[in-house]
């Protein structure tokens, strides 16, 4: 039997309609599903790929100022897509208190010897056994002076780090090297302030061998 349009309309009117509570519960469940999917995507990204950090303090002036908002690349080091390089600005867990995160620049690589004397930073490795003065003019103020007297050999998984604002930085000169496993990642993108936003580059050092080719790791020695 074919129903007339009128009888069909009556049938639709008589069909049960969801209550306000049912509609509310459906909307809540849809929202929860969106949140769960978002968390399933965001949490692994935050934990293993990239992570936001705010700069605190003046130890990296003028490269990074207090309050600047950075995105940290965690994936490259975690998956060994690239090794930490000389000049990389890294975020790491402070060796004396792992609950704190520090931001510094890598100066010395595993197996090298770092010497600081009379304000001059010298790197000694297999390519330059008598040492090569590190040219840091691309990121240090012209009047910046690297204080301290250091003669330190790095172990197989150790990095020597310094702040760009040498007078205001607590770094490897004071508390020693950073083990590889303490490194969270490298500063990748500056988000804020907008006027300084953009991708961050690792400086090159004329005369030095490419990062990762400077020296074969050697056992740590007393410093």
The partner residues of 97 in beta bridges, in order of sequence, read 94
Which of helix, strand or coil describes residue 197?
coil
Q: Is the CB of residue 212 less than 8 Å from the CB of residue 202?
A: no
Q: Is the CB of residue 152 less than 8 Å from the CB of residue 172?
A: yes
Write out the catalytic residue numbers.
Answer: 59, 104
Encoding tokens for residue 197?
């936003």
């Amino acid at each position: 039997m074919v129903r007339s349009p009128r009888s069909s309309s009556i049938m639709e009117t008589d069909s049960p309609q969801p209550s306000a509570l049912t509609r509310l519960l459906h909307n809540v469940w849809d929202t929860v599903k969106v949140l769960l999917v978002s968390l399933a995507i965001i949490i692994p990204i935050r934990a293993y790929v990239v992570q936001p950090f705010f700069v605190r303090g003046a130890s990296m002036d003028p490269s990074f100022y207090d309050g600047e908002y950075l995105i940290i690349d965690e994936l490259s080091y975690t998956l060994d897509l690239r090794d930490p390089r000389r000049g990389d600005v890294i975020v790491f867990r402070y060796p004396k208190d792992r609950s704190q995160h520090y931001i510094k620049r890598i100066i010395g690589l595993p197996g090298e010897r770092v010497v600081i004397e009379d304000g001059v930073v010298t790197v000694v490795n297999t390519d330059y056994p008598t040492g090569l003065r590190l040219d840091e003019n691309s990121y240090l103020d012209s009047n910046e002076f690297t204080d301290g007297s250091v003669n330190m050999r790095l172990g197989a998984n150790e990095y020597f780090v310094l702040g760009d604002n040498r007078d205001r930085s607590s770094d490897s000169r004071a508390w020693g090297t950073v083990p590889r496993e303490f490194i969270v990642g490298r500063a990748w993108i500056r988000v804020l302030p907008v006027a300084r936003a953009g991708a961050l580059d690792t400086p090159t050092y004329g005369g030095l061998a490419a990062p990762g080719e400077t020296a074969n790791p050697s056992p740590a020695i007393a410093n």
